[in-house]
A and B are shown apart, each in its own frame.
Chain A
Amino acid sequence: MKLSFLLNGEPQVIEDVEPTTSVLDWLRVNKRLTGTKEGCNEGDCGACTVIVIDENGARAVNACIVFLPQIANKALRTIEGISTLDAPHPAQQCMIDHHGSQCGFCTPGFITSMVAAQINNDTNHDVTLAGNLCRCTGYAPIFRAAQACEGTKSPKWFYDDQSDLRTLAQSVDAKLPTTTDELANILAEEPETTLIAGATDVGLWINKDLRDIAPMAFIHNITEMEHITEHSDHWKFGANVTIEQMRVWSVDAQASLTPLLTRYASTQVRNSATLGGNIANGSPIGDSPPALIAMGAKLVLLKKDTTRTIDLQDFFIAYGHQDLQSGEFVQSILIPKNQNNLRCYKISKRFDQDISAVCGAFNLHIKDGMVQGARIAFGGMAGIPKRAKHVEACLTGQKWDMNTIKASHDQWSQDFKPLTDMRASADYRLSVARNLLTRYFYDLSDNPTEIQEVSA
């Protein structure tokens, strides 16, 4: 594989490198750029945050779970490339002035996250910095530092990188398909090929399970799959749309998804993770499937010469088993528009950047105080993302009130037999799932019970 990209403004061409070499290892071992730190090697701490720049802008990602082929044709900025010692970036000076570093190990990652957020003009620091863990400061001084450097102009190197990318030689490789046809051909020849889009899941197979995932193909260059397009009654999401793209889309198009998507992992992970990947990996605890199932989303599956469209809920057959034929891949997701009654609730030990113990999505059709139709789907309650069919049936045709909700009490255990694990017990999962219907009731009654909205 021959890859070209920019590193701190300098063109790089690398060959004969293992495609599963992480950007972090390459920076630290090959380039001896040790400012980017390894804290967890799984994308959960942010110590390895670097900035990736392309024509779409700048975004923070976790270098430990980005593999070299994923930055082909892009510009990479590390902590070493954002300033000089004589002229620190304002984020750096503010971190010094506000005592934002103690042991200093997480600091470069915080700085790169802050700089990326500034380029994107995003001052929601609780969100932009949710993916950076600090064990020393209690975050208060870091937050103050982030506030203090709001409004900083984008650095010159950001524009330089964007313009230099236009003249950069393109990386070309058979394992870097640029069209769905190419991908279909790869899968036709080698159906067992591991597809890598954002690598936020596959990265852990490599870094933690030490798995050999060959043969593999990196699909992030398939630009035809990276768009969100509006149709008469639905939105079409290419499988490569990142969760962050979806989150930004949701603000105007489907606001009830925004809080859920804002708590989907962290900024760095959302910038890499794709909607297609979140579905195709078949996880029972992915955060997008319950919401999409509750909305009645459909999946477009492609294979050399054939296309089929199925209901998303039918894609998940059993734990680790999806309705995906040999040579087939997820091409796009069709999401019905204007789901006004959709509400999504994620329950986890930690509010931000945690994996759901329970993730529930409710979408009831209510007319004249009566439940006309119900779609309720949960993650974390079974081996697959699953609808609460008994509960739905119990509610449908009934008056939308607390008595109906109470009457559904015993249906929940008909629908779900959750597991006990390190995130939560089976009892808790079932109790909470049940209680979330009550929360939903208050929510639709314009009387939300949202602790996020409470202040001292």
Chain B
Amino acid sequence: MSVNKPLPHDAAKLHVSGSARYIDDLPVPDDCLHLCFGTSTIARGSIQEMDLTTVRNSDGVIDILQASDLVHANDVSPSIHDEPLLSDGTIHYLGQPIFLVIAKSHIQARKAASRVKISYQQDSPILSIEDALAANSRFEEGPRIWNRGDLKRGFEQATKIAEGSIEIGGQEHFYLEGQAALALPQEDDEMVVHSSTQHPTEVQHKVAEALGVQFHNVRVEVRRMGGGFGGKESQGNALAMACAIAAHRTNKPCKMRYDRDDDMLITGKRHDFRITYRAGVDQHNKIIALDVVHYARCGWAQDLSLPVADRAMLHADNAYFLPNVRIESHRLKTNTQSATAFRGFGGPQGVLGMERIMDHLAHDLNTDSIAFRDVNYYRPAVAAEHDTTHYHMPVQDFNLQDMTTKLLADCDFENRKQAIERWNADNHIMKRGIAFSPVKFGISFTLSHLNQAGALVHVYSDGSIRINHGGTEMGQGLFQKTAQVAAEEFGVSINAIKITATDTAKVPNTSATAASSGSDLNGMAIKIACENVKTRMAELLAAQYNKSPDDVAFIKNEVHIGRRVLSFGDAAKACYEQRVSLSATGFYKTPDLEWDRIRGVGKPFYYFAYGAAVSEVVIDTLTGEYRILRADILHDAGNSLNPAIDIGQVEGGYVQGAGWLTTEELVWDDHGRLRTHTPSTYKIPAMSDRPREFNVNLWDRGNLKPTIYCSKAVGEPPFMLGISAWLAISDAISNCGPAYPNLDAPATPERVLKAVERVQNGL
């Protein structure tokens, strides 16, 4: 009765009235202090001298902390402890926090921090992929290399070979709510931290380490984030730790939020990649050999770069069977912000690389690009030898053949393509393009032990229900989905369910809300917790009325015990009076995972989610400007828990993905200074950038795997549907001449014009 309904976001009423609270909106005591980092103005070197006098004398300043003032751990890293909260004297990137100002107001802290005088010993920064390769500056001892098949023989059999390279820019998360944290000191060395984080447990751990206390002394609460997108998986650690340290030191509440420019200068972004490739096809247009090299610019600290680069390798096939393949991945260490998680987590770069290869091959073969894709799709039903990925995992649920057919028919692809060809013949300045792209995305954390979740469900004696789980709400609608699961389980209306802030004191040892796993893991944990309570209720009620627990049913706000009917509230009251526990935890772990990331062999994913998109664009060959005219999407959310929320994820993911590949350009100068650190210079899509015609449908088939109500994860996969917009731009450019456009990303008007000129000049 509740699951599958297109209910609005649980906080929609609060959002539209401005009463939904984010960290900076929480009422705080008047003595709350405010923090700001002083940051480096060079990209690499060491601090020679730092004069903090004017900072200290600045209005409202209470204290200043440097690395030497930190009593316990000086490390914000989520991985290998290589990321000091405050610089130890060495500077690794421009924007690195060096000292922490504690002041009476946010603006006073910012003003004070800006008044520092620092002299540096400057070293030449390692900024580009070339710099890093030349200096052998990298994470891990060398590149990761995965092989399958016989590449040499593959190339020997190839009748056509394409070679090329693509630059893929990074991406700023631009969550509308910047990073923020608030720490409230408690008695007996306890600390309560409100953090805008996707990973409260990690914040708990990092804060405990910073304070030198056990985990149980720290309680982290997250009601909601104003957007996360991966940017709050590890990047909030610094603020939460700074607040906790300052709160401990001053015994006052301490709050920190980054000004937008600081946020963009300090925090990590999506990894930019260069992907080079050599690909061969046989006489049937089947890819017979593929040699790919990924170069990922990881920034200065390891953070989550290894699993990000792994996931790029895991998605280097996208949806295509690769019998003979070699993938080499370099994780390069540069003096730039430490690149971090961002929706797709490396997957988009891997998928884009493969779609570029498909586009390039189809162009050189002068063949229909969709038929070419179709012939190379996985074909589990047809041939067993055509159904395993390059990491030897069988693809059993592949449905892109059917989805492609349906999407192309629904959007009238063939007729439109012909109409576009006619239009292009009549127009010499403007050119249209249309393109299709599919996505296959692996669902599960590739670090297998993270695939677990806990939940806590209370039924009160009036029949109202309060639920809690380890997942965090960042706008994706997780809370509403899990509330729908609880309502479904208890057979009550959604109003009976109250979902509460994520809290490390309620559900411990949680994983980050990441990898699209939120509803799969937490939905299942909630379901199990509900079942535990229901089982106890059913046993009691069955005993009371001389029935079997199997005769007890929870439907329509009632509990049916054979022919007896109680309201859910009365049933809860009866259970309470008979001393039945109406509170339970639930725990879920994803089955059937095994993964060896060094060899690149195993089953890292529980299942795959699929999607397909067609985009149509027009470009101006005088300026390189373009518009997305129309997008049609068919996306596989399994048996959708909430189609409205899932369609919202698809629409938003597409536009964010298209933004990554079009207007969103990160520019660093030769000194390693990020020049695009404001929304005036870094351009995420605006209202009029959405496709003018935008048709999104869900592929209505349940997951073959027993996930929560056979739904599928939907957070990340649709992001990659934006690739179709980039391919459509490339298609439009290719109408200007016979050469392949070799378009890089993001396809800014400047890059489009350059590609147009190349194609026009036959280069």
Contacts and interface: CB of A to CB of B under 8 A. Distances in A.
Given A44-B679, A135-B652, 14 more contacts: A39-B176, A91-B16, A97-B8, A99-B8, A135-B173, A137-B655, A138-B655, A139-B686, A352-B689, A428-B750, A435-B622, A435-B623, A439-B622, A452-B627
A171 B621 CA distance: 55
- Residue of B18, B260, B655, B757 with highest tally of chain A CB at under 10 A: B18
Contact of A353 (B644, B686, B757): B686
A4 interface: no
Interface in B1-38: 6, 8-9, 11-22, 24-25, 27
Interface in B522-570: none
B475 to A, nearest CB: 3
A18 to B, nearest CB: 10
A129 B476 CA distance: 22
B20 A104 contact: yes
A178 interface: no
A103 B174 contact: no
Contact of B648 (A91, A99, A105, A424): A99
B294 to A, nearest CB: 26
Contacts of B626: 451
B76 to A, nearest CB: 24
Interface residues of A, number: 88
Interface in B739-763: 748-750, 753-754, 757
Nearest to B688: A126
Contact of B429 (A132, A142, A345, A449): A449
B461 interface: no
Contact of A37 (B8, B226, B651, B750): B226
Q: Name A's interface SS.
A: loop
A278 interface: no
B686 A80 contact: no
A40 B9 contact: no
B298 interface: no
Q: Name the 3 nearest CB pairs between A and B, nearest first.
A: A35-B18, A103-B475, A105-B226
A41 interface: yes
A37 B177 contact: yes
A138 B656 contact: yes
A454 B627 contact: yes
Given A42-B680, A454-B430, A95 B16 contact: yes
A391 B725 CA distance: 37
Nearest to B655: A138
A325 B678 CA distance: 33
A136 B679 contact: no
- Residue of B11, B14, B174, B679 with highest tally of chain A CB at under 10 A: B679
B709 to A, nearest CB: 20
Given A88-B17, A103-B224, A38 B654 contact: no
B616 interface: yes
B629 A111 contact: no
Interface string B376-391: 0000000000000000
Given A79-B17, A102-B652, A454-B430, A44 B680 contact: yes
Contacts, number: 273
Contacts of A140: 651, 655, 690, 694, 696
A422 B169 CA distance: 14
- Residue of B25, B259, B663, B688 with highest tally of chain A CB at under 10 A: B688
Nearest to A129: B687
Given A42-B678, A78-B18, A102 B685 contact: no
A37 B176 contact: yes
Given A99-B8, A111-B16, A422 B623 contact: no
16 contacts: A42-B680, A44-B678, A101-B9, A101-B11, A103-B176, A105-B475, A106-B226, A130-B686, A138-B654, A210-B114, A349-B665, A350-B685, A351-B688, A352-B689, A354-B683, A435-B622
A85 B655 CA distance: 32
Interface in B161-206: 173-178
B410 interface: no
Contacts of A92: 16-17
- Residue of A39, A135, A138, A431 with highest tally of chain B CB at under 10 A: A138
A42 B110 CA distance: 15
A402 to B, nearest CB: 12
Contacts of A38: 24, 178
Nearest to A18: B107
Interface residues of B, number: 95
B117 interface: no
A449 B226 contact: no
Given A35-B19, A449-B429, A347 B623 contact: yes
Interface in A68-104: 78-80, 83, 85, 88, 91-93, 95-97, 99-104
A138 B688 contact: no
B625 to A, nearest CB: 6
Given A34-B25, A40-B678, A449-B429, A350 B686 contact: yes
Contacts of A424: 750
A161 interface: no
A455 B430 CA distance: 12
Nearest to A266: B686
Contacts of B748: 349
A104 B13 CA distance: 10
A449 B430 contact: yes
Nearest to A107: B15
A105 B629 contact: no
B620 interface: yes
Interface string B641-684: 00011011001111110000001010100000001101111011
A449 B16 contact: no
A40 B6 CA distance: 32
A134 interface: yes
B227 interface: yes
B648 A141 contact: yes
A454 B629 CA distance: 8
B719 to A, nearest CB: 11
B687 A132 contact: yes
Contacts of A455: 629, 692-693
A135 B226 CA distance: 10
A421 B675 contact: yes
A138 B690 contact: yes
Given A44-B678, A88-B16, A349 B663 contact: yes
Contacts of B693: 455-456
B16 A47 contact: no
Interface string A399-439: 00000000000000000000001111100100110011011
A424 B752 CA distance: 12
A143 B687 CA distance: 8
B644 to A, nearest CB: 5
A435 B625 CA distance: 12
Nearest to B757: A431
B622 A106 contact: no
A442 interface: yes
A406 B582 CA distance: 83
B708 interface: no
A28 B25 CA distance: 8
Contact of B687 (A97, A352, A452): A352
Contacts of A442: 429
Contacts of A108: 15-18
Contacts of B279: none
